[in-house]
Amino acid sequence: MTAIAHPAPFARPSLPRLVRVELRKMTDTRAGVWLLSLIAIAGVTAVGVTLVAGTESDQTLDGLFGICGIAVALLLPVVGLLCVTGEWTQRTALTTFTLVPARGRVVAAKLLAGCGLALTALLVCLVAGVAGNLIAGGSWSLDLARLYGAALYMLIVMVAGLSVGLLLMRSAPAIVTYFVLPAAIGALTQTVHSLRGPAEWFDLGRATAPLGAGEMVAGDWPRLAVATAIWIGVPLALGLLRLRNRELS
Amino acid sequence: MLAISAHSLIKDFGRLRAVDDVSFEVEPGRVVGLLGPNGSGKTTLLRMLLGLVAPSGGQALIGGRRFADLDHPARQVGAVLEAGSLHPGRTARDHLRVLATEARVSYPRVDEVLELVGLTEAADRRAGTFSLGMGQRLSLAASLLGDPGVILLDEPTNGLDPAGIRWLRVLLRGLAAEGRAVVVSSHVLAEVEQTVDEVLILDRGRLLAHRPLSELDSLEETFLDLTDKKEHDACLP
Amino acid sequence: MIEVDELTKRYGSQTAVDGVSFRCEPGTVTGFLGPNGAGKSTTLRMISGLTTPTSGTAKVLGTAFQRLPNPGRQVGVLLDASAQHSGRTGREVLRISAEVLGVDRRRVPELLERVGLPPDAARKRVGNYSLGMRQRLGIAQALIGDPSVLILDEPANGLDPEGIVWMRGLLRDFADRAGTVLLSSHLLHEIEAVADNLVVIGDGRIVAQGGKAELLATTGTVVRAPDPDALYDGLAAAGLSPLLNADGTLHVDASPDEVGRVAAGLGITLLELRAADGGGLEQLFLTLTSTEAPA
């Protein structure tokens, strides 16, 4: 080991490198492996159940892919969420931000890694759909609008999970907020009539529903934009601000 | 009357022999350092003396009897093993009172030990707000409730700052001067050198040396010579 | 090279660090000492860019830590060895660091071996590590980027005697090759053995700094009496701050003359009265930082 007397010009780690590291961190712990396995099992189980008990219209490439996607999209955002909150719950923030003091870059890397994971998950669902359809022998037609819609949906929920994690910085409250709050809002807006209209703008579940079905019409996009601004834009911005000034120990 | 004694003490965990035929005697009024590299069996030895672990062979005795056979354990031996295991919601005083009740020790003694360890002012604060050093002091207070003749401590200086380290040193010497036997297990040889009268050096379960400190030029050198891994491996059959 | 200039940190009305200034030159080991709660950790965190100072600056190798493009390649930091994911293996922890820093991953196994974490230990998850093993992993993490500056908080914590000696050698070696070491520890004997310079902090402020040799050459008096308590009280009442030693003597930060006069004035017989021979780092430290309440 040689000690250098004068600082050599070391380049900062590139964003692709940081993204690779974040992807690695999502998969190299026991908890990480468990979670991903659980998600995979959920997806496969959904396909399996459909093959056994589903209707004919479900047992097609489109149908099986869709059901697998729904199952996976349920838990996948937790991976993104924990990727952020885990830094605090597991106290690795100290290491992470000593190695890369540019905290914004770290968050960008986590976002990109999460998106990469989401798209990979989508591909896997497609593969599962293909495999299932080989067994079911159903129709091979795939609604492209639905495919793109599903991709966007996966990305949105993943980033939403990450954003909630960044805002709250602790695993348990973040998970509760991510799952319970939307459900609570949904229930509230269902029962209170006057809120039903506005709900289409701030209920992310409602705003993204047409995406998954591939039935987005012109009027749906502004609603989607507002809902994502609320559920992603705001937590992300606030979370980044908090992170910038936060003390790490 | 011997304060502490071990006779051909053996402990096996499956195929691993953690303590291998260890025998020694400690007289009252002495501070003894129990030293050894990680995994040498120090903690297992202490736990056998406290009856927390049953020996596979031999005996570990306090005042000539096994821990399980003592009439009143709290009055004969006190121990400070791990920092922590303090209920965070309880105040220091309440924590000690609970222990005092279990040990059938009177309440005034609680105030006495609080005074002894310098926690009188903090006595009504919740243990959860205590720093590591204060927690150590509280554990020490608990071990002294029964006014025991034998005190065993495992890495007691962990988390203490220099003032705390010095305070502990003075306290331990004082306890020995009162006729108690004090055994301190520690990795910090420099501190051990300033505190103890004699040392027990363990390595891989075996007792390599039991010597008065005054006989050694440098505790660190003696320790490293005895526990030198290369030499040790060379001696294996 | 570390430069700290009027570094201050306030939390509301509390000042944790108050105008701290010092420099660590390359090729030296600086011991950073202070009682618990004196502001050591906060200072180290500010130097490592983890906490924003209220005012003042801290620079490592001429720049603020956060502005270094790839800090781990220049500054190795070990502040809290327990801040690791318990579900990750030791080897994986180091591999991730190597990846971020752009260091060849083949360095990982040799470094693990060097810090005393052989392959079977490296394969275990950090959650199963002992305190000493975590510490060794933390040191490996600080070294993986081959830095020229080390900032370490209690690096010997949890290490067994062999590990403590190894650490001592590692730090001296590092400094001897023109590296800079800033090290905080409660093990004064270790600091005395390895440091060239000392910075002592108390209540957020620097109470002493300079070369170890000069600081330790300070004097004072060692005195012994048949009734140590009476002597203690008498000296304290006279405004001298006595310290009780483990062997029953008192150390007083005053000349033997003064001590003798005070004792004589109170009619206290003395068995021993002599100039303290430096007294060592512990005496110096406690005199500088003596606090009333236990920390």
From the list A8, A30, A101, the residue facing C71 with the nearest CB is: A101
Chain C contact present for A99, CB below 8 A:
yes
| H-state helical runs in chain B | 42-49, 73-76, 92-103, 107-116, 132-144, 162-177, 189-195, 219-226, 229-235
Residues of A in contact with C79 (CB under 8 A): 94, 98, 249
Can you tell me the distance from the alpha carbon of A136 to that of C246, in angstroms, rounded to the nearest whole number? Answer: 84
Residue A2 has pLDDT above 70, yes or no: no
Contact C48, C83 (CB under 8 A): no
Angle at which helices A204-213 and A171-191 pack, to 10 degrees? 90
Q: Which residues face C263 on adjacent strands?
A: none
Q: Does B66 touch chain C (CB under 8 A)?
A: no
C-alpha neighbours within 13 Å on the C-beta side of residue C55: 5
Could you write out the DSSP letters of every residue in C245-276?
-TTS-EEESS-HHHHHHHHHHHT---SEEEE-
pLDDT on residue B130: 85
Which band of pLDDT confidence, cut at 50, 70 and 90, is reported for residue A1?
A: low
pLDDT value of position A200: 74
> Cβ contacts (< 8 Å) between B190 and chain C: which residues?
187, 189-190
Cα–Cα distance measured from residue A109 to residue B20, given in angstroms and rounded to the nearest whole number = 54
Amino acid letter, residue A137: G
A112: Cα separation from own chain's centroid: 11
User: Are C201 and C34 within 8 A, CB to CB?
Assistant: yes
Query: Helices (H) and strands (E) in chain C — how many of each?
Result: 11, 13
Note whether A20 contacts C: Cβ–Cβ < 8 A. yes
At CA A173, angle to CA A170 and CA A178, rounded to 5?
110
Neighbouring residues of B78: CB distance < 8 A, sequence distance ≥ 6: B142, B143, B144, B145, B146, B148, B150, B151, B152
Type and span of the H or E element at A121:
helix A103-136
Q: How far is B44 from chain C (nearest CA, A)?
A: 15
C233 contacts: CB under 8 Å, gap ≥ 6: none
Could you read off the pLDDT of C128-157 as tens digits, one per residue? 998 899 999 999 999 999 999 999 999 998
CA-nearest residue of chain C to B134? C295
Q: Is C210 helix (H, G, I), strand (E, B) or coil?
A: strand
Neighbours of chain C (3+ CB pairs under 8 A): A, B
pLDDT at B1: 62
A124/A116 Cα distance (integer angstroms): 12
- Enumerate the β-bridge partners of residue C5: C57
DSSP state of B160: -
Helix (H, G, I), strand (E, B) or coil at B51: coil
**B72 φ, ψ (degrees, to nearest 5):** -140, 80
Question: How confident is residue A7, by pLDDT bands cut at 50, 70 and 90?
Answer: very low
| Radius of gyration over every alpha carbon of chain C, rounded to an integer in angstroms | 22
Locate A154 and state its tokens.
Answer: 């996966």
Q: What is the DSSP letter of A41?
A: H
Residues in chain C within 8 Å Cβ distance of B122: 294
Q: Which of C130, C159, C291 sits opposite B163 (nearest CB)?
A: C291
Higher pLDDT: C88 or C255? It is: C88
| C277: pLDDT strictly greater than 70 | no
Mean pLDDT within B191-207: 94
Looking at the partner chain, which of C71, C84, C89 has a beta carbon nearest the beta carbon of A92?
A: C84
Q: Contact partners of A by the rule of 3+ C-beta pairs under 8 A?
A: C
Alpha-carbon gap: B131 to the closest alpha carbon of chain C (Å): 7
pTM: 0.86
DSSP of C144-185, one letter per residue?
TT--SEEEEESTTTT--HHHHHHHHHHHHHHHHTT-EEEEE-
User: Using one digit for the tens of pLDDT, what is the confidence trace for C54-70?
Assistant: 999 999 999 999 999 99
State the average pLDDT over residues A225-242.
90
**Amino acid occupying residue B81:** L
Minimum-distance CB partner of B134 among C188, C244, C294: C294
Contact C49 A93 (CB under 8 A): no
Residues B153-156: contacts with CB within 8 Å, 24+ apart?
A: B153/B79, B153/B80, B153/B81, B153/B182, B153/B183, B153/B184, B153/B185, B154/B42, B154/B43, B154/B46, B154/B79, B154/B80, B154/B81, B154/B82, B154/B185, B155/B185, B155/B186, B155/B187, B156/B80, B156/B184, B156/B186
Inter-chain touch C36–B161, beta carbons under 8 Å:
yes
Paired tokens of A101: 């003091």
Q: How far apart are CA C125 and CA A128, in angstroms?
A: 33
Contact C148 A245 (CB under 8 A): no
For the stretch C69-104, pLDDT in tens is 999 999 999 999 989 999 999 999 999 999 999 999
Helical pair A234-245 and A103-136, crossing angle rounded to 10 deg: 140
pLDDT of residue B27: 93
**Angle of the B132-144 helix axis to the B107-116 helix axis, nearest 10:** 130
Tell me the average pLDDT across B18-28: 94
| C33, C186, C200, C207: best to mutate for the B interface, most B CBs within 10 A | C186
Phi-psi region of C158 (alpha: psi -120 to 50; beta: other; left: phi over 0): left
Residue of A nearest to C54 (CA): A245
User: What single-letter DSSP state applies at residue B65?
Assistant: B
> What residues of chain A lie within 8 A of the CB of C107, using their CB?
none
Q: Give which of B116, B166, B218 to mutate to test C binding, by max C Cβ within 10 Å.
A: B166
Cα–Cα distances in Å, from C82 out to A37, C95, C115? 28, 18, 16
Query: Does A90 contact chain C (CB < 8 Å)?
Result: yes
CA neighbor of B172 nearest in space, from B140, B204, B211: B140
Residues 6+ apart with CB under 8 A from A98: C48, C49, C50, C71, C72, C77, C79
Chains with 3+ CB–CB pairs under 8 A to B are C
- C86 Cβ partners below 8 Å, 6+ apart? A90, C125, C126, C127
Residue type, A97: F
The answer to whether the Cβ–Cβ distance between C291 and B161 falls below 8 Å is no
SS3 C2: strand
Q: Are C218 and C229 in contact (CB under 8 A)?
A: no
At C127, is the secondary structure helix, strand, or coil? helix
Whole-number Å distance between alpha carbons of A181 and A234: 15
The answer to whether residue B204 neighbours chain C at the CB level (below 8 Å) is no
Residues of C in contact with A105 (CB under 8 A): none
Contacts of residue A18 in chain C, CB cutoff 8 Å?
Answer: 100
Output the CA–CA distances (angstroms, integers) from residue A136 to A56, A69, A127, A213, in the order listed.
9, 18, 14, 21
Nearest CA in chain C to B155: C158
Angle at A68 between CA A67 and CA A73, to 5 degrees: 100
Chains A & C: contacts with CB separation below 8 Å: 120
Residue C157: partners with Cβ closer than 8 Å, 6 or more residues away: B158, C81, C131, C135
| DSSP class per residue in C45-86 | HHHTTSS--SEEEEEETTB-GGG-SSGGGTEEEES-TT-S-T
Q: Do chains B and C meet with 3 or more Cβ pairs nearer than 8 Å?
A: yes
Residue B229: pLDDT band with limits 50, 70, 90? low
Query: How much is the pLDDT for A155?
Result: 94
Place of tokens 């910038």: A244
Average pLDDT over residues C246-250: 75
How far is Cα B64 from Cα B87, in angstroms, rounded to an integer?
34
Nearest CA in chain B to C163: B37
Give the gap in angstroms from C-alpha A155 to the nearest C-alpha of chain C. 25
CB contact under 8 A, A248 and C51: yes
Which residues have C-beta within 8 Å of that of residue B52, sequence separation ≥ 6? none
Tabulate helix, strand, coil % of chain C (nearest 5). 40, 25, 35
The answer to which of A5-19, A121-135, B52-66, C112-126 has the lowest mean pLDDT is: A5-19
pLDDT tier at C227, thresholds 50, 70, 90 = confident
Radius of gyration in angstroms for the set of CA atoms belonging to chain B, rounded to a whole number? 18
Q: Which residues of A74-106 are buried (b: 16+ CB within 10 A; e: fewer)?
A: ebbbbbbbbbbbbbbbbbbbbbbbbbbbebeeb
Residue C202 CB contacts under 8 Å (≥ 6 apart), including other chains: C34, C35, C38, C288, C289, C291
Residue C294 has pLDDT above 80, yes or no: no
Q: What whole-number distance in Å separates Cα of residue C204 and Cα of residue C206?
A: 7
Surface of B (14-43) touching C: CB under 8 A: 35-38
Mean pLDDT of the region A86-100: 92
Give chain A's radius of gyration (CA, Å): 20
Mean model confidence pLDDT for chain C: 89
CB-CB under 8 Å, B224 with C160? no
Burial of A244 (0-12, 13-18, 19+ CB in 10 A): exposed
